[in-house]
Amino acid sequence: MADSGDPDFEVQLAHRGRWAFDVDFRKEGVPGCVMDEPAPLGDQTGPDAARTLAAAVGDCLSASLLFCLRKFDREPEGLETAVRGFMTRNERGHLRVGSLEVTLRLRGLEVDTKVRRCTELFEEHCPVTSSVRQGIPVRVTVTDEKGSPLA
Instruction: Give the pLDDT confidence of 7-18 residue by residue, as tens digits.
Output: 999 999 999 999
Length of the chain: 151
Q: What is the mean pLDDT of residues 67-80?
A: 97
Dump the DSSP string for 15-82: EEETTEEEEE--STT---EEE-PPTTTS--SS--HHHHHHHHHHHHHHHHHHHHHHHTT---SEEEEE
Task: State the pLDDT at residue 56.
Answer: 98
> Quick one: pLDDT at residue 4?
76
For residue 41, pLDDT beyond 60: yes
**Across residues 91-99, what is the average pLDDT?**
97
CA 53 to chain centre: 6
Backbone angles phi, psi at 73, to 5 degrees: 60, 40
For 10, phi then psi, to 5°, come to -145, 140
